[in-house]
Amino acid sequence: MRKPIHAWAVSVLVAALLAAASPVWAAGTTQPMTQEQIAAARARLEELNKQDYLSELFRTVAKLVKPAVVEVRVSKWIRQPEMPDIEDFMKRFFDEEFPPNESPYQYRFRVVPRRQPRIAPREFQMRGLGSGVVVDAANGYVLTNFHVIAGADQVTVVLADGREFKAEWTRSDPLTDLAIIKIAADGLVAAPLGDSDQVEVGDWVLAIGAPQRLPETVTAGIVSAKGRNTRSGPMYQNFIQTDAAINRGNSGGPLVNMRGEVVGITNSIASVSGGNEGIGFAVPSNMAKSVMAQLIETGKVTRGYLGVYIQDIDSQGLAESLGLPDRHGALVVDVKADSPAGQAGLKTGDVIVRIGDESVPDSQELRYAAARIQPGTVVRVDYYRDKKKHSLDVTIVAQPKELAGSPEGKETEEEPASRPVAGRFGLTVATLTEDLARECGYEPPLEGVLITDVASASDAGEQGLQPGMVILDAQGRPVRTAEEFERAISAEDAAKGIRLRVAEPGGGKRFVFVRPGGEAK
C-alpha cells in the first residue's frame, strides 16, 4: 500500500524546482545596461565598423553598375474575337427556322422578342516588365532575356536616369533565353561582361534589377552552385545558382561579381510559393557573350550538330554493365540515321567521353560542346563500346533550323497476353503489336515489349519504369517478343541486374539499369 503524500512535501518540492529554475529564467531576461556598458558597446561598434570592408565593397559595386541597369517595358495588343449574333446562334443551336422579325425565345421561353446588337471586336493592351543591362554603350546594345520581350509589339528601354527609348530592333535566341535590344541613345553607361568560368562557389554576387516595378533594386548573396540544369525552360542551360534575392521583374538583369563585372543574366527561380526562396538562376556571361556576338553580327545563332540522343550514366550499376571505369560520359540512347554521328559510325549504347579537346563528364557538357563547334569542323570523338575504348572522326554540321528539341537536347479492347516476370525484376510485359503500339501513342513500326505492370516494391519502379513504356533492348540485344525478354533476363549476365533501353509515348528514349527483386540501387 502506497503512503499518502503530505501537502508540506509537495510545497517543498515545488519550491526546490522554482529555485533551481530561477537562474535559467534570469539568464533569459534582458537586463538594463548601465551608461558605462552602453558607452563601451558603442565604442566597440566604432572599432568593428572600421573593419567593415564588405559594406563599402557592396556600395562601390552597386554605384558602378546601377547606371547600366535598365527597365525593359513591353506591350502587346490583344484582339478580342467578335461576339456572334444571339439569334443566329440560337437558330444554329436549335436547328429551327423562325418567322421573320420574331425571336426564337418567343417559342422556346415565351419572352418578348428583342434583337440583340452585334458586339464589335475590340482590342486591349497587355503590358509586362523585365530588366536588362547595357553591355555596349557606343552601339546601344542591351542584354536581357528572350522571355522578357517574346511576342511584344513594342519594347521600351527605361534608363537609370529616367530617359526612355523605343527599341530599334530586337534579336533573340530562345534556346538560351537570351535577347539583344538595340537603342539609339547618347550618354549610355555600360557594364563589362566578366569571365563566368572564373566564378567559384562561395563568391559574393549582387543581383540588380526592377522587381515588382522597383527599379535599381540591389540584393546580395553568394554563388550557390555552377552548371545547374533545371530540366525545364531553355534547351541550353548551364546556370549559375545564387541565393541573392530574385523576384518577378528581375529577369534579364545582371548578376555582378565584386569587380563590378556581369557574370550572369538573371533568368529564373525555383520556388514553391512563386516568390524568392533563395534559389535563383542566371545564364553565365560566357554563354551570353557567344550568343550576343552572333545575334549582332548575323541576327541568328548557328550551332554545331552531332545528331545523337543522349543521357547521363545515372547509376553505378549502369556504368558497370557498360564496362566503364566510372560514371563519366554521355550515353547514346539513339542515333539519327542521316546525322554526322550516324554517318561516322556511332551507335546506340556507345558512351562518348571526349569530343575534340573537351572531356565529356555528362550529357549536358556534350550538348554544349557540340553546339560550340563550328559547322564543317572535323573532330575526334572518343567513346566506349563493348567495354573497350575507341575513337573516330566526325564532321560537325549546322544544327537544323526546324530543331525545336534537338537530339542533343532534351530528351485494345482485346488485351494481348502478358508475360508475368514480376518475381525477378518486378515487370510484366507483352509483345508489342502494331495495334497496341498505336493505342499506346507510338508510331509503327516499333519492335519491343510493352510494360503492362510494374511491381511497387521493385527496383524497376524506383528507376522510373511505368506501364506504357516499351523495352527496346536488353543488355544491348534487341527484344521483339515477351519470350525473348524473358530469356534475356534469365541469362547468366543478368544475374546481378540488366541494362534496358526503353521508349516512352512522348518519343523519348533512355537507358536504365534494373536490379532483380527489391534490391537497392
Residue positions annotated with a catalytic role = 147, 177, 251
**Residue 181: count of CB within 10 angstroms of its CB:** 27
Angle, CA of 343, 344 and 346, to the nearest 5°? 100
- What cell numbers appear for 298 in the block? 548575323
Name the pairing type of β-strands 351-355 and 378-385: antiparallel
- What cell numbers appear for 123 in the block? 482590342
**Residue 201: count of CB within 10 angstroms of its CB:** 11
CA 341 to chain centre: 27
127 pairs with which residues across the strands? Answer: 75
CA 131 to chain centre: 20
Asked if 286 and 264 touch (Cβ cutoff 8 Å), the reply is no
Query: Can you list the alpha helix ranges (DSSP code H) found in 235-327?
Result: 285-298, 316-321
Distance between CA atoms of residues 213 and 23, nearest Å = 52
Distance between CA atoms of residues 218 and 206, nearest Å = 7
CA 400, 402, 408, 409 dihedral sign is positive
In terms of Cβ atoms closer than 10 Å to its own Cβ (0-12, 13-18, 19+), residue 129 is: buried
257 CB contacts (<8 Å, ≥6 apart)?
194, 199, 203, 204, 205, 263
Angle, CA of 433, 447 and 412, to the nearest 5°? 20
DSSP strands (E only) in 229-337: 239-242, 254-256, 262-269, 280-284, 304-305, 308-312, 330-335
- What cell numbers appear for 341 in the block? 554521328
Cis amide bond preceding 445, omega within 30:
yes
Distance between CA atoms of residues 242 and 191, nearest Å = 20
129 pairs with which residues across the strands? Answer: 73
Asked if 358 and 329 touch (Cβ cutoff 8 Å), the reply is no
Helix-then-strand count for the chain, H and E: 14, 28
SS3 call for 253:
coil
Distance between CA atoms of residues 228 and 220, nearest Å = 20
Residue type at 347 in one-letter notation: K
In terms of Cβ atoms closer than 10 Å to its own Cβ (0-12, 13-18, 19+), residue 474 is: buried
CA distances from 30 to 18, 35, 207 (A): 20, 16, 38
The H or E element containing residue 422 is helix 422-425
